[in-house]
Amino acid sequence: MTVKTQIADGPGDTIFALSTASGRAGVAVMRLSGPQARSVAASLTDDRPLAARKAVLRTLRHKGERIDEALVLLFPAPHSFTGETVVELQCHGSQAVIEAVSTALLQHGLRQARPGEFTRRAVENGRMDMTEAEGLIDLIDAQTDGQRRQALRQMDGRLKGLYEDWRSGLLDALAQVEGEIDFADEGDVPDALSHAARPHLDRVIVGMEAALIQADRGRAVRTGIEIAIIGAPNAGKSTLLNQIVGRDVAITSPHAGTTRDIVEAHMVIAGLPVTFSDTAGLRDTTDAIEAEGVRRARARAEQAHLRILLQREPAIDTHLQDGDIVLKNVEGPVKKNEINALTGNGLDDLMDRLTMIVSTRFTGTESASLTRARHVDCARRALTATQSARTHLGVAPELVSEDIRAALRAIDELAGRADIEEVFDRIFSQFCVGK
C-alpha cells in the first residue's frame, strides 16, 4: 500500500464511530470522517450551515424526530485529524442517544469504522507517519508518567526526525555513488567519486548503532521493566517480594522448594511500570516438577532487565550481569547490601537503590527511541545494508548503490511508506474503535 498524495475529500466511503468510552456518561463524542461527513451532519441539523472549527449547539433530528441537543464541530479537509472532512457530534452520553445517532448515520449510508481506522486514514493521507501513529496508541495505553512522556515524544516526531536524518545521509551518499556510475567517462568527475560517500555512510552507521543500543531502554519503558528475584531455596525470595509490594502475593514456608512456578507482582518505580518475579530456588534436583520450576527461573533471570540475588550466605552465582543487585538476607540489624526480608528492615535502602537504577537506565533522556520490535528489525536491516555499502566502496559502485537503496527501503518500512499492508492491519487493529 502506498501513501495517498491527495489529501482532500475524494471517492470513498464515510465512516463513523463513538470516540469516547461506551457506557453511561455525561458526554459522548461521535466522530464522522469522509466525503459525506459534512452533508450528513447538515441533514441531521436541519441543513443549517456549519462554520469550520467552531462549536455550535444544534438539535439533531432524523426523519422528523428529535434525537438530542449536541455540540457540532466541523473540520474541513485537509485540515483535520484524518486529512478528510471530519465532523464531531458531542451528544449526551446515554446508550439510547448513542444508538439513535448511530442508527441515523447508518441509514444515511455511513459505515461503522473499524478499530484504528481514523488513525490509519491519517497515516494514509500523510497527516502523520507510522511511528507517530504508534506513539498515539502508546499514549492511549500509557499507565505511567514515563510511558506518557515517551509516547508524546514519539507523537511529536522525535523518532521520525531520527530516521529522516539517516535517510538524508544515505541520499547524500547515493548521490556521490550515482555520480561515479553515471559519469564515469566524464573528465571532470573523479574516478573515485564514491569515496566521497564514506563520511555520509559513517555518520549514518554511527547513528543507527547508537539507536539500536538504546532500543532496549525504549521498549522497556513501553512494555515494562522486568526484575527477577533469584537465589537458592529458602533464601527468603517470596518473603522479600511480599515486603516490596506490601501485600502477600507469594506463599511463604520454611520448607525448601515451596515456590515451583513464577509469581509476578506489579508496581510503579520512578514513573515506570515494573514487574517483580519471584522464582523457584536455584539448585540441582531430581524432582521433575521442581526441576521445571528451576528451568523457568533461569529463563526468567536471563530475560529480565535486572536481577536481585538474595542469599543467606555469600555465594557466586553465574546468572548475574553487570549492574545487578546482590543482597544478603540476615536476621536482626542490617548493614550495607543486607536486608531482613522477614521484618523489612533495609527495604527502604533497596527501594532507593531500585529507584536510582530505573531512573538512570530507563528515564532522564529526551532522545528518540526505537520502542517496538518492528522498529528494531527495520533499523537492523538498514544498518546491515549500510555497512555492506561501506564495505563495497571503491570496489563495486553498483553494489554500493543497491545496498544504499536496500537501506532506504528498510527506512521506508519503518516510516510506513512501503508496501506493508499486513503490518498496517496488525498495528491499527490494536486501536480502539473511534481512534
User: Cell 494514509 sits at which residue?
Assistant: 124
Expressed as residue numbers, the domain containing 68 is: 15-129
Predicted pLDDT of residue 7: 39
Q: Which amino acid is at 51?
A: A
| Residue pointed to by grid coordinates 540441582 | 284
Is 10 contained in some domain?
no
Do the annotations mark residue 64 as ligand-binding? no
The pLDDT assigned to 156 comes to 84
The conformation of residue 340, written as its DSSP 8-state character, comes to B
In-domain check, residue 136: no
What is the number of domains present in the chain? 3
| 225-230 and 111-112 strand pairing | unpaired
Is 329 part of any known ligand binding site? Answer: no
Chain center to CA of 33: 26
Strands lying side by side in the sheet with 272-278 = 263-269, 272-278, 225-230, 306-311, 325-329, 338-339
Q: Which residues pair with 56 in a beta bridge?
A: 72
Find out whether 312 is annotated in a ligand binding site: no
**How far does the chain reach from its first CA to its final CA, in angstroms?**
21
**Residue 278 annotated as lining a ligand binding site:** yes
Residue 393 forms part of a structural domain: yes
Residue 400 lies inside a defined structural domain of this protein: yes
Q: Looking at the structure, do residues 269 and 380 belong to the same domain, yes or no? A: no
Closest Cα to residue 37, out of 84, 101, 100, 104?
A: 84
Query: Within a 10 A sphere around the Cβ of 319, how many other Cβ atoms?
Result: 16
- Distance from C-alpha of 383 to C-alpha of 401, rounded to nearest angstrom: 15
Residue 54 annotated as lining a ligand binding site: no
Q: Is 63 annotated as a binding residue?
A: no
State residue 216's pLDDT score: 77
Bridge partners of residue 266, in order along the sequence: 275
Same domain, 53 and 75: yes
- Based on the domain organization, do 344 and 374 belong to the same domain? no
Whether residue 257 is annotated as binding a ligand: the answer is yes
Residue 255 marked in a binding site: yes
Say if residue 31 carries a ligand binding annotation: yes
State yes or no: 259 annotated in a binding site: yes
Do 178 and 94 fall within a single domain? no
The verdict on whether residue 172 carries a ligand-binding annotation is no
| Cα separation, 78 vs 30, whole angstroms | 20
Residue 140 confidence (pLDDT): 87
The grid coordinates of residue 374 equal 518492528
Beta carbons within 8 Å of 192's beta carbon, 6+ residues apart: 180, 394
Q: Consult the annotation and say whether 332 binds a ligand.
A: no
Q: Let me know if residue 298 belongs to a domain.
A: yes
Nearest to 363 by CA among 217, 160, 226: 217
Give pLDDT, residue 383.
96
119 annotated binding-site participant: no
Same-domain status, 200 and 248: no
pTM above 0.75, yes or no: no
Angle between helices 117-124 and 130-141 (to 10 degrees): 160
Confidence at residue 9, expressed as pLDDT on a 0 to 100 scale: 45
Residue 14 labeled ligand binder: no
On whether both 405 and 297 belong to a single domain, the answer is: no
Residue 327: give its domain's CATH number: 3.40.50.300
Q: Quick check: 435 and 119 in contact, CB under 8 A?
A: yes
Q: Is residue 169 part of a domain?
A: yes
Task: CATH number of the domain at 393, please.
Answer: 1.20.120.430
Using 50 as the pLDDT threshold, list the residues of the chain that sit under it: 1-11, 187-191
Asked if residue 88 belongs to a known ligand binding site, the reply is yes
Distance (Å, whole) CA 53 – CA 76:
8
CA distance 111 to 424: 20
- Who's near 356: CB < 8 A, 6+ residues apart? none
Q: Is 82 annotated as a binding residue?
A: no
What DSSP assignment string belongs to 380-401? Answer: HHHHHHHHHHHHHTTT-HHHHH
In a domain, 8, yes or no: no
CATH number of the domain within which 71 lies: 3.30.1360.120
| Measured distance CA(237)–CA(230) in Å, rounded | 7
Say what the pLDDT of residue 333 is.
Answer: 87
Last residue of a domain, one of 318, 344, 362: 362
Q: What confidence tens digit (pLDDT) does each residue in 358-380 have?
A: 888 876 555 667 888 889 999 99
3-state secondary structure of 31: strand
pLDDT in tens, 47-96: 888 889 999 999 999 998 999 999 999 999 999 999 999 999 999 999 99
Cα separation, 205 vs 170, in Å, equals 10
Domain termination residue (choose one: 98, 129, 160): 129
Residue 279 assigned ligand-binding role: yes
Same domain membership, residue 196 and residue 252: no
One domain, residues 269 and 351: yes
Residue 348 and residue 142 in contact, taking contact as beta carbons nearer than 8 Å: no
For every residue of 199-234, DSSP letters joined together read HHHHHHHHHHHHHHHTHHHHHHHHH-EEEEEE-STT
Together in a domain, 31 and 121: yes
Helix, strand and coil percent figures for the chain, each rounded to 5: 45, 20, 35
Burial-class residue 386 by CB neighbours within 10 Å (0-12, 13-18, 19+).
buried
CA max distance for the chain: 86
| Residues 301, 345 share a domain | yes
Residues in the chain: 435
Q: What digits encode the pLDDT tens for the residues 279-300? A: 888 877 777 887 888 888 888 8
* Closest by Cα among 57, 54, 55, 53 to 45: 57
250 and 317 assigned to the same domain:
yes
Residue that is last in its domain, among 129, 161, 177: 129
Sequence-ordered alpha helix ranges (H) in 190-325: 198-213, 215-223, 237-245, 288-303
Statement to judge: residues 336 and 382 lie in one domain: no
72 part of a folded domain: yes
